[in-house]
Amino acid sequence: MDSCRYLDKKIKNCARTDLFKTDHEIFKENGAAEFVLRRLMSKKFRKWKVGPEYAAELKASVDYAVNKQQPINTTWFFGGYKLHHFPSSPEVDWAEFFNICYLLNYISSIAELYKPGVIMTYWAAHPSIMKRQSNIPESSCLVYHYSFNRLLSGFIKYLPDNIKLELRCFSELYPVEKKYSEELEPLIEKIKKEYNDWPAERKNKKEATSKLNIQWRGAENWAALSAEEKREKIKMGPIVHDGYCRLSGVNKAIRGLGKVDLTATPLPKYNSITIGTTSASVTKFWTGFGVLEKTADSYVDRILSPRQFDSLRDKKHEVVKCDLIPLKNFNEICVYPKSFDFS
């Protein structure tokens, strides 16, 4: 099978599922809630454990939705931009395509028997926070959102009626700028004080991510800042990020009864279902670049981190023309001839 045929088959079939006999038996004998919970916790997708606090929250959330006969609302909170490191920025690329396919494959087994179905909501961060945190122009975020919605629309015709895909932005939850600022600023100030007590390992990890994400020549020319000023910008990145994550609107959107929080990598206390971004990747799709890895008789969907992308840039690969998605980053795809080894 050539790569274009593989991708075409993927988009057409990613929301189709063949359940096992045991799935039908669980649904019939144990009820919808038990079936849904088992599918959400499937080890085929889940890459880390779920903490006891979130396990209890998840059960309550599923029970609530099933009792109300409402769709299960799976949520994914993400940056809502494309990392400037990649040539595809500021629009979506194959990384987003692979993640959408992966999530549809994950939730389609639920929708197969649970008739109220599933809503998959990608929640993008407020563009203003990305400007403040990483100097990413708000206009770049809006271009990304537009391209993401166009990519989602390419999947719609292949979905059953009880699966809904959507992109929403947290800016819609804070239409009044004054109220948004009044809640956000005290949270940032609170975390500034907490920062001094963060373990060195946590600071180093957070600041490394902050440095990676900063677009030095972005909304403003941070490249012209002094070394000390740049150091302060890197330090403030995780502080602003963590303050934003504590907003009441953010937590209400992704957590609570009827909602299921999905993440690429573990949260503190493992308070989410951590499924990675594809079957073979855990790199976040908005800070990653999508390629195909050729296997003996098929392909593996890979989302490369910036470091992995740089290490493979000059390695032997094929650039295959493709016209599956009418967006600028989808007229070709990089196909690598053998399995990756990033050890």
Q: What residues are paired with 74 via a beta bridge?
A: 120, 260
Query: pLDDT digit string (tens) for 274-301?
Result: 999 999 999 999 999 999 999 888 899 9
φ, ψ for residue 121, nearest 5 deg? -110, 115
Q: How sure is the predictor about 151, in pLDDT bands with cuts at 50, 70 and 90?
A: very high
146 and 185 housed in the same domain: no
Instruction: Determine the average pLDDT of the residues in 225-233.
Output: 98
139 and 150 housed in the same domain: yes
Query: pLDDT digit string (tens) for 92-119?
Result: 999 999 999 999 999 999 999 999 999 9
Instruction: Determine the average pLDDT of the residues in 134-144.
Output: 98
**CA-closest candidate to residue 312, choices 292, 285, 286, 283:** 292
pLDDT at residue 343, as a whole number:
64
273 and 203 housed in the same domain: no
Q: Using the predicted structure, report yes or no on whether residue 241 has a pLDDT greater than 90.
A: yes
CB of 168 within 8 A of CB of 123?
yes
CB of 237 within 8 A of CB of 130?
no
CB of 250 within 8 A of CB of 244?
yes
Q: How far, CA to CA in Å, does 311 sit from each of 236, 281, 292, 308, 315?
A: 29, 16, 15, 5, 8
Structural domain that includes position 198: 177-246
Query: pLDDT digit string (tens) for 59-82?
Result: 999 999 999 999 999 999 999 999
Residue 75 maps to a domain: yes
Query: pLDDT digit string (tens) for 305-331?
Result: 999 999 998 899 999 999 899 999 999
The burial of 230, by beta-carbon neighbours within 10 Å (0-12 exposed, 13-18 middle, 19 or more buried), is given as: middle
**CA-closest candidate to residue 306, choices 211, 195, 167:** 211
10 and 155 housed in the same domain: yes
Total domains in the fold of the chain: 2
Q: Using the predicted structure, report yes or no on whether residue 341 has a pLDDT greater than 80.
A: no
Q: Using the predicted structure, report yes or no on whether residue 220 has a pLDDT greater than 80.
A: yes
137 and 205 housed in the same domain: no
35 and 159 housed in the same domain: yes
**CA-closest candidate to residue 145, choices 210, 242, 77, 79:** 79
**CA-closest candidate to residue 273, choices 123, 69, 106, 105:** 106
